[in-house]
Chains A and B, each alone.
Chain A
Amino acid sequence: MAFTEEQLVRYSRHIILSEVGGKGQKKIGDAKVLIVGAGGLGAPLALYLAAAGVGTLGIADADVVDLTNLQRQIIHHTADVGQSKVKSATDKVGALNPDVKVIPYQKYINPGNALQIFGEYDVIVDGTDNFPAKFLINDAAFFANKPLVHGGILRFEGQLFTIVPKESACYRCVFPAPPPLGVVPSCQEAGVLGALAGFIGTLQGTEVLKLILGIGSLLTNRILNYSALTTRFREIKIQRNPDCPLCGTKPSIEKLEMQEQPEQPVCHLDTVAAAKGDGTP
Chain B
Amino acid sequence: MPIISISQLSKTYATGFTALRDVSLAIEPGEIFALLGPNGAGKSTLINIVCGIVTPSSGTVRVDGHDIAIDYRTARRTIGLVPQELTTDAFETVLNTVSFSRGLFGLRPDPGHIERILRALSLWDKRDSRLMTLSGGMKRRVLIAKALSHEPRVLFLDEPTAGVDVELRQDMWRLVRELRQQGVTVILTTHYIEEAEEMADRIGVIRRGEIILVEEKAALMRKLGRKRLTLHLQQPIEAVPPELADYELALAGGGRELVYTYDTRAERTGITGLLTGLAAAGIRFNDLHTEQSSLEDIFVGLVREEGGRA
Physical interaction between A and B: no
Q: Give the B-binding residues of A (Cβ under 8 A).
A: none
Q: Give the A-binding residues of B (Cβ under 8 A).
A: none
